[in-house]
Amino acid sequence: MDKYVVHFNEGVKGKLPVPGGGGDFCILIDKQMSGAEHFSLLVNSFQPGYVGPMHQHEVEHAWYILSGQGTITIGDETWDIGPDMAIFAPIGVPHQVACTGSEPMRYVVVYAPAGPEQDLRERGDQAFSGYGENKT
């Protein structure tokens, strides 16, 4: 049965470390959890000092920052990011997120259509390997 209302504690987490370490992903809505066909929603957390590798996806990607401070590079531009900010990365555009503050950065992620979260489900911290070439 699909879950239409999902509490954070019910999400797929713990076994989904951020690729390269430094945080975790929690899948809250996707095909397996809720029957969502056209998007997925996650809540992620990066520890202070974590810098994710530059990578790209063949889906649209959005973030909404809940807490913490960081930077995001999309293509050739870098911005400071923090709470109450929304970010968008178009299909195929390389991007990189870093937690630059002294506290963890927590944020919501949406993939549309769904897809990259399946790599996280299947491969955990090995997900999105081949970052420079990734087209998940």
What pLDDT, on a 0 to 100 scale, did the predictor assign at position 131? 43
- Whether 128 contacts 119, CB under 8 Å: yes
E-assigned strands of the chain? 23-29, 40-46, 60-67, 70-74, 77-81, 86-89, 95-99, 105-112
* 132 has pLDDT over 60: no
Given strand 95-99, what is the order of strands in its sheet?
77-81, 70-74, 95-99
Task: Decide if 66 is inside a domain.
Answer: yes
Residue 60 has phi, psi (to 5 degrees) of: -75, 150
Cα distances (Å, whole numbers) of residue 7 to 20, 36, 37, 39: 27, 16, 20, 18
Distances (CA, A) of 42 to 49, 95, 109, 128: 21, 17, 5, 16
Encoded tokens for 11? 């999400």
Is residue 27 in a domain?
Answer: no
Evaluate whether residue 132 is within a structural domain.
no
Full residue range of the structural domain in which residue 55 is found: 37-126
Given this model, what pLDDT does residue 23 score? 85
pLDDT at position 136: 40
CATH code of the domain in which 94 resides: 2.60.120.10
pLDDT band (50, 70, 90) for residue 10: confident
Number of domains in the chain: 1
pLDDT tens digits for 52-98?
888 888 999 999 999 999 999 999 999 999 999 999 999 999 999 99
In a domain, 118, yes or no: yes
Q: What's the pLDDT score for residue 118?
A: 78
Under the banding of pLDDT at 50, 70 and 90, the label for residue 18 is low
Average pLDDT value for residue range 114-125:
75
| 8 Å CB contact between 125 and 76 | no
